[in-house]
Structure 1
Amino acid sequence: MKRLFAIAIVALFSLNAVAQQVDLRKKITVSGTAETEITPDIIYINISLKEYLKDGNSKKKVDITTLETQLFNAVQKAGIAKENLTINNLSSWNYQTTKKKDPDFLASKQYRLKVTDLNKFNLILEAIDAKGIASTNIDSYDYSKIEVLKKELKVKALLAAKEKAAYMVEALGDKLGSVLDIQDLGDNNGGMMVPQYRNYAMKAEMAMDASQAPEIDFKKIKLSFTVNTVFEIK
Structure 2
Amino acid sequence: MKKLLTLAIVALFSFNALAQADLRKKISVNGTAETEVTPDIIYLSISLKEYLKDGNSKKKVEINELETQLFNAVQKAGIPSENLMINNLSSYNTIAEKKKNPDFLVSKQYRLKVTDLNKWNQLMAAIDPKGIAYTNIESFDYSKIEALKKELKIKALQNAKEKAQYLVEAIGSQLGAPLDIQEINNESFPQMNYRSSPMMMKSMAEDSSGGMVSPDIDFKKIKLNYQMNTVFEIK
TM-score, normalisation: structure 1: 0.88
Q: Distance in 2 between matches of 1:44 and 1:85?
A: 10
Deviation at 1:144, TM superposition (A): 0.3
Q: Distance in 2 between matches of 1:162 and 1:41?
A: 33
1:230 paired to 2:226: no
Deviation at 1:14, TM superposition (A): 6.2
Aligned to 2:124: 125
Residues 213 and 97 (structure 1 numbering): CA distance in 2 closer, same or farther, change over 3 Å? farther
Per-residue deviation, residues 61-96 of structure 1 (Å, max 9, x unmatched) = 111011000000000000000110000000101112
Aligned to 2:82: 83
Paired amino acid for 2:189: M
Aligned to 1:3: none
Residues 152 and 12 (structure 1 numbering): CA distance in 2 closer, same or farther, change over 3 Å? closer
Equivalent residues of 2:133, 2:197 under 8 A apart: yes
1:219 paired to 2:229: no
Equivalent residues of 2:180, 2:231 under 8 A apart: yes
| Secondary structure, aligned partner of 2:196 | coil
Deviation at 1:41, TM superposition (A): 0.5
1:19 paired to 2:13: no
| Secondary structure, aligned partner of 1:208 | helix
Q: Distance in 1 between matches of 2:10 and 2:45?
A: 71
Per-residue deviation, residues 192-233 of structure 1 (Å, max 9, x unmatched) = 411346xx3111122224136522231222210111111111
Aligned to 2:209: none
Aligned to 1:35: 34
Point out the more displaced range, 211-220 or 30-39.
211-220
Question: CA-atom RMSD, angstroms?
Answer: 2.1
Q: Distance in 2 between matches of 1:188 and 1:176?
A: 28
Residues 50 and 168 (structure 1 numbering): CA distance in 2 closer, same or farther, change over 3 Å? same
Which of 201, 215, 227 aligns to 2:195? It is: 201
Aligned to 2:186: 188
Equivalent residues of 2:43, 2:114 under 8 A apart: yes
| Secondary structure, aligned partner of 1:150 | helix
Deviation at 1:20, TM superposition (A): 3.7
Equivalent residues of 1:75, 1:124 under 8 A apart: yes
Deviation at 1:15, TM superposition (A): 4.7
Aligned to 1:68: 67
Residues 163 and 57 (structure 1 numbering): CA distance in 2 closer, same or farther, change over 3 Å? same
Paired amino acid for 2:230: T
Residues 203 and 213 (structure 1 numbering): CA distance in 2 closer, same or farther, change over 3 Å? farther
Equivalent residues of 1:207, 1:213 under 8 A apart: no
Point out the more displaced range, 168-177 or 202-211.
202-211
| Secondary structure, aligned partner of 1:69 | helix
Q: How many residue pairs are counted as aligned between the two chains? A: 222
Point out the more displaced range, 209-218 or 65-74.
209-218
| Secondary structure, aligned partner of 1:105 | coil
Point out the more displaced range, 96-105 or 72-81.
96-105
Identical positions, percent: 65
TM-score, normalisation: structure 2: 0.88
Aligned to 1:114: 113
Equivalent residues of 2:190, 2:221 under 8 A apart: no
Aligned to 1:57: 56
Paired amino acid for 1:137: N
Paired amino acid for 1:45: L
Q: Distance in 1 between matches of 2:192 and 2:14?
A: 61
Q: Distance in 2 between matches of 1:71 and 1:201?
A: 18
Aligned to 2:172: 173
